Amino acid sequence: MTKPAVELTGVTKRFGDDVVAVSDLDLTINDGEFFSLLGPSGCGKTTTLRMIAGFEFPTEGSVRVHGSEMGLKPPNQRPINTVFQSYALFPHMTVTENVAFGLNMKKVEKSEVQKRVARVLDQVQLSKRADARPSQLSGGMQQRVALARALVNEPEVLLLDEPLGALDLKLRQAMQVELKDLQGRVGITFIYVTHDQQEALTMSDRIGVMSDGRLLQVGRSEEIYERPTSRFVADFIGDINLIDVTMNGSNSARLGTGVEIGVPEGGAQPGNDVTLALRPERLALYDLDEEIPAGHNRLKARVTRRLYYGDVYFYDVDVGIGTEIEVKEENRPGVELYDVGEEAYLVWSPEAANLVLS
């Protein structure tokens, strides 16, 4: 089995005496995978990326790339390349000169440089603009130049710091697909930093969710979305309903209103206060006289708001626990709509919920 591409052990970064940007991070990123570091602004994901690249040193801890300890090595001695958020293309050089920069620094032979630059420009479809200056290119093209400039050096790991942030929505979505495909073809490990959870979910093999300098959960996209292990992760990814309940059995709990519902077995003791995390799409509204599937939870609800999103309907319903519950219903032909003020049953399968213990 190949060594992991990047291994962070006990990595902490302190600025001065009081600011802790990253706290005791342990993370293993596998060879050849597309890994995303996801979190809100200030969570430490960019700092972590910079420590892998060498632009910052950890205050303590170990950063290993394919088994080699990086220690205090400066970025120009690490087998890693970065695609910057601002692209950082050298404005006084042409596209070709930009892309060839790293190879020239490593004193690669001229004909070899020409060959590799031509090949990578072809890969990102910019061969026609080889002699242009960055200022003459659109945002999307600049982004591809930045990518080419990094990839041409065949690094062991490629770091990407929110590279799609400056692009408009359609272009961004197109680039997401392109990047994912590129990574698959090239086979290099990609470490991708973003605050956009949609982006992370669609592109990544695995995601690491960070908040306040800590790594909260690492796993495949499906795991992160469907089985969040903390309140923060549950809330950060997608829409979620978070309901506080008190356990009163191994698989049942009481709501604040006293009503009892079924919950998945989760290792929580009776009497514990836990949070139930429910995705809106796992909830359904039933008519008061409709038959409800066996074993499902059922709560009396009153619709307080209905929003139309084209492909789905969002309902806010009041079940008497103080906060409203969000329900997502697919807009199928012939779907039954509920009006504001109407009463219905809120129904879900106990297994569809997640017990979040924090």
Binding site for another protein (CB under 8 A): 9-10, 53-63, 68-77, 80-82, 84-86, 88-92, 101-102, 105-106, 135, 149-150, 153, 165-169, 172, 196, 198
| Closest to 199 measured CA to CA, from 221, 214, 228 | 221
Cβ nearer to another protein, comparing 165 with 219: 165
Q: Supply the minimum distance, in Å, between the C-beta of residue 264 and another protein.
A: 30
Q: Supply the minimum distance, in Å, between the C-beta of residue 277 and another protein.
A: 20
Q: Supply the minimum distance, in Å, between the C-beta of residue 137 and another protein.
A: 14
Could you tell me which residues come within 8 angstroms of residue 283 by beta carbon, excluding any fewer than 6 positions away? 241, 325, 326, 327, 328, 346, 347, 348
| Closest to 223 measured CA to CA, from 257, 241, 200 | 200
Cβ nearer to another protein, comparing 164 with 243: 164
The whole-angstrom separation of Cα 288 and Cα 285 is 9
Cβ nearer to another protein, comparing 111 with 135: 135
The whole-angstrom separation of Cα 216 and Cα 100 is 39
Q: Supply the minimum distance, in Å, between the C-beta of residue 310 and another protein.
A: 16
Q: Supply the minimum distance, in Å, between the C-beta of residue 186 and another protein.
A: 18
Cβ nearer to another protein, comparing 92 with 249: 92
Assess contact for 80 and 65: CB atoms under 8 A. Answer: yes
Cβ nearer to another protein, comparing 167 with 268: 167
Q: Supply the minimum distance, in Å, between the C-beta of residue 146 and another protein.
A: 8
Cβ nearer to another protein, comparing 123 with 246: 123
Nearest 5°: phi and psi at 71? 55, -125
CA atoms lying within 13 Å on the CB side of residue 98: 30
The whole-angstrom separation of Cα 63 and Cα 240 is 35
